[in-house]
Structures are given as structure tokens and as C-alpha cells.
A and B are shown apart, each in its own frame.
Chain A
Amino acid sequence: MTVKFTKDHEWIAVSGTTGRVGITVYAQSQLGDLVYVEVPAIGKALTKGGEAAVVESVKAASEVYAPVSGKVTAANDALADAPETVNADAEGEGWLYEMEIADPAELGDLMDRAGYDAYVETLH
């Protein structure tokens, strides 16, 4: 399984043609305490860079974009009652949804862990 990252601070863990998607630890730290997470409906078609989910803190709402195109196959419904899971474990239990990846070649546009860490450094 490989994990890739976007400049908008999403991660996607890929195994075969499916990917599990969430926001990064850095992203949750910037947003602060999350109070609501809106996950996409199963079956929803996503386009790379298009809106896939919404995470909200008290004073901000942020769109979570699809790292690659595809179709939603699962959603982390547990977040509805426990959005704080994203704060506690953004890149683990705080995953948002899973998708069937339409075109694995799109993954090539994303960063690996080292690349993302270096990118985050540039934001300080």
C-alpha cells in the first residue's frame, strides 16, 4: 500500500485500484477542533480536484477535494457523531471515504511522504 499527498493536504492510501482518503495531520492542526464532517454519498462520482467532503471547525468550513477521479465506495459514517476523531487520528481512524480509482495514472501527479513533508516546511 502506498500513501500519496496533495497540495490541498489530502492523503490517499492506495491498494490496488481502491484508495482511502482523508486530510493530513497538518491540515487538522490548521483547522483546529473539528465540529462536523460531511462525507460523500456512496456511489458519488468524483473528479480530481473537485469537492468531495467538507470539514468544519467552529469558525471555518473547508472543502476536501478529491485527490484523483473515481467513485465513492465507502464513507466513514462514524465521524458524524465523532468529528474529533479527525483531530486525534487524521491519517488513521479519521479517514473520510474510500474510492474506486478511475485512472491510476493520476496518482503520478501527487507527492510522496517526503515530498509532502518538504512542501509543508515551505508553508512556515
Chain B
Amino acid sequence: MRYLPLTGDDRAEMLAAIGAPSVDDLFRDVPEAARLSGPVDLPRHLGEFEVEQAISAMAAKSRHSGVMASFLGAGAYRHHIPAAVDHLIQRSEFLTSYTPYQPEIAQGTLQYLFEFQTQVALLTGMEVANASMYDGSTACAEAVEMARRVTGRHRVVLSGNLHPHYAEVIRTLAALHGTEVVSKPAAPGGEGDLSGDVDGGTACVVVQYPDVFGHVTDFTALAKAVQGAGALLIVAVTEVVALGALVPPGAMGADIVVGEGQGLGVGLQYGGPYLGLFAARAKFVRQMPGRLCGETVDATGRRGFVLTLSTREQHIRREKATSNICTNSGLCSLAFTIHLSLLGEAGLVKLAALNHARAVTLADALAGVPGVKLLNQSFFNEFTLRLPKAAAPVVEGLVARGILGGVPGARLWPGDPAADDLLIVAATETNSEAEIAAFAKALAEVLA
């Protein structure tokens, strides 16, 4: 077995040193009835080539975004990742290290986390950010929990244009705490002002920017109304590249900004691992969930970095912790940080502009298909169409023409007939003008 260095002779010598007759003897505390007498009913070990063959055969059964033109978004976006990103995150020192609990020999991880926190704070326009969370949806649910702690209130208002998976995660966790969740109905054509839904018992309002249908909304007035009522405004961003083109949520007055960082560095990965972004105003820092990296000095006065404010966390506070989360999404945050460092200010701004331009071109092309209605006045790189018929079979028709042509409403709001004819479509820098033209042509054919 190529991964196991001990030989038969080694094992015999080690048993002799221990004074045990056999390895089985070391398992003597296991109740006899629970000891297996032989291997379980699974295949025996395989060589590297055989494993690669078997798993590659599985991978080959997928028809991925590299072989079809992909216009899928709705919470996960396909962007080109520079080759340097994957090379660097596979460095042994990053890939095979643990949580930086021994800061003297983990300055590499700690320094990039400090850079990551700074990048997230700058992008969102917030004062502080944590070292990342599982993904955007769990970060969003944690933000709601944090709002409950900060305000001591237990009523939560969710925009109808918040990604339905995010809303579902919030509702699932809220059920544990008796939190009242007010879920507004989805508004594919754009949602009105939610100020009227806030009352003196409201802990927070959660909105998405751009929202799940792609609309870009100014929340400045909402932030004022929410804060006027003593509640917090949580803004979720599922496409982080948008922040290269848009006014940051912090500038609109958001109290907490959460996001999905997958778009930079991480890739699609069929949904995970992803990267939860979490930023807030500085005054809430001790109520924040998740790890935080901070600057300090060593015994000789040199700058260094450590994990800090860890008394909020479960390994110290146990049942009084701010959250049960005890990890971050380390390697994904590194990928994000490297990708963003490569882009830099000019690169991110250009990337965002390119995404927007492609989406404008695509929107105009698709809106020109007979029977198709564009529902957005505003958007970044994603928008929603109303089709003359149910969208799910249309998407299958597009697959047959080599196009992943968007996410049908029924996939996100199953069982809701009002969503059946909706199609959420995204374009990124990876979509060429030729692909866009082919998509419009194929859509016209499928709808004909």
C-alpha cells in the first residue's frame, strides 16, 4: 500500500517495544461483538492508475461548462482563474498545513488571511471582515444570528429577491431559535422598498445586491429606515465580481455584508467548497462569528500576525460561543486573495466592466427573440427573462444544442407556478460574442 510506510518487520518490532502480542490486542477495549473479523464488503486497494481510470470515467459522464457555452449564474459564476492561482494554492506549505494555532510557524497563512480580510473590507466598503466562512448562504444565516444577538430581537425580514437557497438556510436555522421569519414574495420584475416591513421588534432586514433576478437596487434609504427602527441591514452579494463595478454596500449604510467569494479563484466545483465572505461595522466585531486574524508584534518587536478575539469561539466559550463554527474556508480564501492580487484595482475594474458589457450584449440579443421579455431595467452580469412557455424544458432544448442556457425558475422555486416561465441568465468574461449569438439563435429555435 503506497501510502503506508510501515513494513511487517517494523510492525513486529513496534509491537515488541509496546509489549503487545498483536495489533488486535491494542483494540481490546472494543466490545468483542463489535469487532469485525474481516474486511467490510468493499473493493480491495487499487493502484494509482486504476483509481484514476475509474474516477475519470465518472467525470467523463458530466457535460461541463468547458464543453458547452455556459450562461449559468444564480449564486455561482464561471470566471477564468489564472493558472498561477492553482499552482500557488497547491504549494505544500499552504495545502498541507493546519489552522494557524502556532503562529510562529504559520505566518504564511496568517499574513494571507490578514490580506484577505483587508480585501473583503475594501470590496464591501466595510470596516472589518473575518477570515471567511463555509459559503455565502451559511455566512448569510450567521449574519442573521448575529443581528439577533446585537439587537436582542427575534423578527427577521427577508427580501423576496434573496436567493431562495439562502432564505431556506436562514429559515432552517431560525426554526431552532423560535425566530420569526417574514419572507417576502419573490418579485421577478424588481422589489419595492421594504421600509414598511420593519417594526420595533425587527432584528434585521436581509436584501441581496444584485438580487437573485439580477436587479441592482440602491439601499441607502432602506438602511436609514432599518437603522431608525433599531434594526440592522444585512446585504448579501452572491457575485463578488459585481463589487468591481458597483457602489459598495458599505457606502449605502449596510451594517453587515455577506457574500459568496467563489467567483474569484475558487471555481464552480458543483457547489463546494465555496467561500463565505463576512464583513461588518467595527463596533460589532465582538459579535462576529468566525475566525479573525490580527496584527501584533513578536518578542523582538517584529510585526507578525495571530488569530485573535478567539474567546468568541466554541473551543473556548463552548456552549456560550457566538456560533458553532470552528473553521474557515482557508484554502479558498487563499485562492480568492491570490486571484484578486493578480487582478489588482485595474484588473478587477476591467473584469467587472467586461462582465457587464457581455451581459448587456446578451440581454439585447435574447430580448430580441420573439416572445421573450427582459424583466430588468438594471443588472450587472445577470438578468431574468420571462419566456412564452415553461423554462425548464426550454433549458433542456438548449442543452441539446450545446448551450447551458440559464437557470429555470422551477429549479429555485419548485412548485411555484409563477416561477415556471422565468429564466435567470448570466454572462461573464468567459462568454464570447459568438457564443452569445449562438445562444440567441438557439433560443429562437427552441421557442419556435
Q: Which residues of A contact B (CB under 8 A)?
A: 36, 38, 56-61
Contact = CB atoms under 8 A, between A and B. Distances in A.
Contacts of A58: 310-311
Contacts of A38: 286
Interface of B: 286, 310-311, 316-317, 320
Dominant SS among interface residues on chain B: helix
B12 to A, nearest CB: 43
Contacts of B316: 59-61
A61 B316 CA distance: 7
Contacts, number: 16
B317 A36 contact: no
A36 B320 contact: no
A57 B309 CA distance: 9
A95 B310 CA distance: 25
Given A36-B311, A56-B311, A61 B286 contact: no
Nearest to A51: B320
Contacts of A36: 286, 311
Nearest to A38: B286
A56 B320 CA distance: 13
A57 B308 CA distance: 11
16 contacts: A36-B286, A36-B311, A38-B286, A56-B311, A57-B311, A58-B310, A58-B311, A59-B310, A59-B311, A59-B316, A60-B311, A60-B316, A61-B311, A61-B316, A61-B317, A61-B320
Contacts of A57: 311
B138 to A, nearest CB: 24
B316 to A, nearest CB: 6
A61 B318 CA distance: 10
B293 to A, nearest CB: 14
B299 to A, nearest CB: 15
Given A59-B311, A60-B311, A61-B320, 13 more contacts: A36-B286, A36-B311, A38-B286, A56-B311, A57-B311, A58-B310, A58-B311, A59-B310, A59-B316, A60-B316, A61-B311, A61-B316, A61-B317
Nearest to B317: A61
B438 to A, nearest CB: 59
Nearest to A57: B311
B339 to A, nearest CB: 33
Contacts of B320: 61
Contacts of A60: 311, 316
B192 to A, nearest CB: 36
B415 to A, nearest CB: 46
Contacts of B311: 36, 56-61
Most B CB within 10 A of own CB, among A36, A56, A60? A56
B281 to A, nearest CB: 16
Nearest to B286: A36
